[in-house]
Structure 1
Amino acid sequence: MESLNGIVGSIKILKFSERPLLYFKLDDQSCLIASHSLNFMADVENGMRIAVAGVYNSRKQFVVKKYAVIGQTKMMMEFTSMKSM
């Protein structure tokens, strides 16, 4: 398994299902995530720094198996902004 880290950009939902398939760019690398994709949508937004682990598929896309947000997740930021009101 390989690992990458960088800034997230261009998040798109490719397939709606019980386990959605998401596409995103990590710096200039194309990435896909299906496992934990609902958590990913709740935790990550464009411009956030994350670390991912996974494998490359035949189309040179990085298929993410695990991810971690570096810093605060989107939900944490929303919670702290609500708390300060």
Structure 2
Amino acid sequence: METIKGTVSKIKMLSFTASPLLRFTIGTTNCLIAKHSLNFLGDVKEGMYVVVGGQWNARKQFVVQKYAVYGKTRIMLDMDHYRQSIKVVQK
């Protein structure tokens, strides 16, 4: 299993099935994720720094099997923003 790390850009959903297929780019590398793709959508937004592990397919696309986000995930950032807005309203 190889690993690639970098900033995510161009997140796009390719298929709307029970387990959606997502395409995204890390640097100049095209990546695909099917397994855990809904979790990936919840955790990652464009501009976040991630590490992905997987293998190359015949079309020179990196098929992701595992991923990790450096720092806070998208859900964590949204919760922090929500908590800060509640504190401002209560004051």
TM-score range, shorter-chain basis? over 0.9
| Matched residue SS, 1:84 | helix
Cα displacement string for residues 13-46 of structure 1 (whole angstroms, at most 9, x for unaligned residues): 0000110000000111000000000000000000
Which ranges of structure 1 fall in alignment gaps of 5 or more residues?
none
Flag the structure with larger Rg. Answer: 2
Identical aligned residues as a percent? 48
Which ranges of structure 2 fall in alignment gaps of 5 or more residues?
86-91
Amino acid paired to 2:79: F
Residues in 1 aligned to 2:44 and 2:63: alpha-carbon distance in whole angstroms:
16
Root-mean-square deviation (CA, aligned residues, Å) is: 0.4
**How many positions carry a matched residue from both structures?**
85
Could you tell me how far 1:3 is from its partner in structure 2? Answer: 0.4
Could you tell me how far 1:2 is from its partner in structure 2? Answer: 0.3
TM value normalised by structure 2: 0.92
Could you tell me how far 1:58 is from its partner in structure 2? Answer: 0.4
Could you tell me how far 1:64 is from its partner in structure 2? Answer: 0.0
TM value normalised by structure 1: 0.99
| Matched residue SS, 2:58 | coil
Determine if the alignment matches structure 1 residue 18 to structure 2 residue 24. no
Runs of 4+ residues over 6 Å off in structure 1: none
- After superposition, residues 1-85 of structure 1 pair within 5 angstroms as 1-85=1-85
